[in-house]
Amino acid sequence: MGNRQGSTMPSQPSGIVTFLFTDVQGSTVLWDRYPAEMKAALADHDRRIRDAVEAHRGYVFTTAGDSFSVAFADVRDAFDTAVELQLSLRDLTSEVELRVRSGIHTGEATVRDGDYFGSSVNRCARITSAGHGGQILISGSSRELLGDDLPEQVEILDLGVHRLRDLAEPERILQVCHPDLERDCPKLRTLEGPGDTLPTQLTSFIGRDHEIGEIVELLRDRRLVTLTGPGGAGKTRLSLEVAERVILDHGDGIRLVELAPLVDADVFVDEVAQRFGATRVADVPLGETIAATIKDRRMLLILDNCEHLVEPVARLTSDLLLACSNLHVIATSRERLAITGEVVYRVPSLSVPPAGIDVDKSLEFDAIRLFVERGQLANPGFEVNSSNVADIASICRRLDGIPLALELAAARVRSMSPHQIDSRLDERFRLLTGTDRSSDERHQTLLSTIEWSHGLLEENERLAFRRLGMFVSDFSLEAAEAVCADASILEFDVIELVTALVDKSMVTSLSSTEGDSRYLLLESIRAYASEHLDQAGEQPATAERHARYYTRLAADLQHRHRTGELAGALAVLDEEEDNFRSSLRHAIDHRDALLAARLVDGLGYLWYAGGVHR
């Protein structure tokens, strides 16, 4: 285990011993790239360490490669050695830069054959490995023994309590600071320290038991799970709840990186490096350094709000998963990362009640439970009762069970009744604004949440998106092609644009009774798209294409029922009822009697056969 030192060293301390461990950060890479230069540099490094140790009566009991393990009878000798050594190494003249990290810990140790054994030795090793080049770390026990009589210009910075690998008890770790030494070092490489715990939540988590169970199982089977959904769907909160359930699966820690405030790829990679305590090494990509820091540790990385940096996030995530076999990742994004091994989990809306729900059964629906609980934060006396249950249920349906929208609506309970809130939802973007100054700016209003997603779309995607706002309910791909295509968008391109909007959580993909995919804009998103359609001056032409498509579809349904396919025609009528009605309203409002007549002619018998009377 290295070279034992001879009789020139002082007598070996025993009992309560202070240990000083040192090693060179990134030495493997340096040896690989600069073997000749490293040989000379380490010779000078070793001489300086021995000189400092001898000057302060230290006992070198082990050396291995570029690391030294030294024992001291007095904590002050170890402390002075570490400071003197780091100051000396700053003047090291070499073609390679050697960055040495040092750790100090005091405790009882067992001596055997000139070596030391026991938990104190292990703890000092873990403290040292948590540091960075140029940094001196000292344990809480050593700090207590030092007292207040510190060398001139030296101060000690408390870095908080940290959990260290393979050690049951956490450790308070402090940094020794000197004006000539680096003070602002990266985060310590510990399992868990200040800022590493999952954020404390100030509100209760409602429902989602089924979703949590599914995601936990996916995460145990796969290494990358991306939670997607529109803004305000609750992706962040759901990811944190899942993380709480799998803490024991990731014994080396969980790291959360919040991407919403980050603006470019370099800042993102730096932020991930900080969370893992990875330090830049000259000529080595930072992603490789992060991977080398994680190695085979069993860790979970949560990447929250990835949509605006999806390409750099995808690259780094792929690299880390390939290099770190025990790393698992949860990403939240309005768009999937689209890398190998990714499982996409679309976060559904909260369950909403049907019309006519009674009070007793209303709280079985998560959307109502969320609205009531958040309403009670604004008005402690608020509760669901027979006089307001219908209005609360209507609010939940009209807001599509989207948690953010429900919370913003519930906040209005402090000054409005559910009936007043429901009656004003046609002006939802003015009504649904928040007063929580601590919340993310994007989530302060319903409008800002949708605008954030809209701002990430390409120009052609925005054009298709606002035209899809013409549909008042779900629609088929063929309908989208007919309504969106004109001189600006080729019909052939509509499928790619719709797919892109699904991927970016602006459009929801649904299953259909006939097996083909159908699509839907959630009501708040549809209202936003419709408003932009008006502002762009495209509403009249888009409405005309919409009405003419459904007129053709009505004629096709008439032909189907006349040729014996009544059941199939009625199924399509059920799916398209709201869009047929919208088309008829357009024809009547624009005094297009011929178009209205063709619609009624095509649908009249089906309405009769289906028991619908208009």
**What 3-state class would DSSP assign to 455?**
helix
Q: What one-letter code names the amino acid at 425?
A: L
CATH top-level class of 15-177: alpha beta
Q: Region 473-501: what's the mean pLDDT?
A: 93
At 91, the pLDDT band (50, 70, 90 cuts) reads: confident
At 280, the pLDDT band (50, 70, 90 cuts) reads: confident
Which residues touch 244 (CB under 8 Å, ≥6 apart)? 198
Q: Region 271-292: what's the mean pLDDT?
A: 88
- Position 7 scores a pLDDT of 40
Q: What stretch of H or E contains 23?
A: strand 15-24
Q: Region 34-60: what's the mean pLDDT?
A: 91
At 467, the pLDDT band (50, 70, 90 cuts) reads: very high
- Position 434 scores a pLDDT of 58
At 614, the pLDDT band (50, 70, 90 cuts) reads: very low
Residue 406, pLDDT > 60, answer: yes
Task: Write the pLDDT tens digit of every residue in 497-552.
Answer: 999 999 888 998 886 555 678 999 988 899 999 999 999 999 999 999 999 999 99
| Whether the Cβ atoms of residue 322 and residue 290 lie closer than 8 Å to each other | no
Residue among 97, 96, 105, 84 at smallest CA distance from 18? 105
- Position 512 scores a pLDDT of 54
Residue 70, pLDDT > 90, answer: yes
Following DSSP, what letter does each residue of 259-280 receive, concatenated?
-TT--SHHHHHHHHHHHHT---
Handedness of CA 558, 559, 560, 563 (dihedral sign): positive
| Whether the Cβ atoms of residue 192 and residue 208 lie closer than 8 Å to each other | no
At 6, the pLDDT band (50, 70, 90 cuts) reads: very low
- R_g (Cα) of the chain, nearest Å: 33
More reliable by pLDDT, 437 or 499: 499
Cα distance between residue 134 and residue 406, in whole Å: 51
Q: Region 558-577: what's the mean pLDDT?
A: 87
For the chain, domain boundaries:
15-177, 209-346, 359-450, 457-508+517-609
Residue 185, pLDDT > 70, answer: yes
| Whether the Cβ atoms of residue 257 and residue 2 lie closer than 8 Å to each other | no
- Position 580 scores a pLDDT of 92
Q: What stretch of H or E contains 302?
A: strand 299-304
| CA distance to 164, 293, 529, per residue, from 275 (Å) | 15, 11, 38
- Position 5 scores a pLDDT of 43
Cα distance between residue 20 and residue 144, in whole Å: 16
Task: Write the pLDDT tens digit of every residue in 321-331.
Answer: 999 999 999 99
Cα distance between residue 434 and residue 416, in whole Å: 14
Tokens 């930072």 correspond to 286
Q: What is the CATH number of domain 209-346?
A: 3.40.50.300
pLDDT over 90 percentage in the chain: 51
- Position 441 scores a pLDDT of 54
At 262, the pLDDT band (50, 70, 90 cuts) reads: confident
Task: Write the pLDDT tens digit of every residue in 188-229.
Answer: 888 777 766 777 777 888 888 899 999 999 999 999 999 998
Task: Write the pLDDT tens digit of every residue in 354-374.
Answer: 988 889 899 899 999 999 999
More reliable by pLDDT, 270 or 448: 270
Neighbours of 205 (CB within 10 A): 15
| CA distance to 48, 59, 254, per residue, from 54 (Å) | 10, 8, 42
Query: For 162-171, 175-184, 545-554, which range has the lowest pLDDT when averaged over its residues?
Result: 162-171
pLDDT over 70 percentage in the chain: 94
At 612, the pLDDT band (50, 70, 90 cuts) reads: low
∠ CA 414-418-422, rounded to 5°: 120
**Which tokens sit at 275?**
């969370």
Q: What average pLDDT does the chain have?
A: 88
**Which tokens sit at 51?**
């000189």
| CA distance to 16, 143, 481, 600, 608, per residue, from 572 (Å) | 83, 77, 18, 16, 15
Residue among 241, 232, 585, 599 at smallest CA distance from 428? 232
- Position 496 scores a pLDDT of 94
Cα distance between residue 340 and residue 25, in whole Å: 33
Cα distance between residue 361 and residue 377, in whole Å: 22
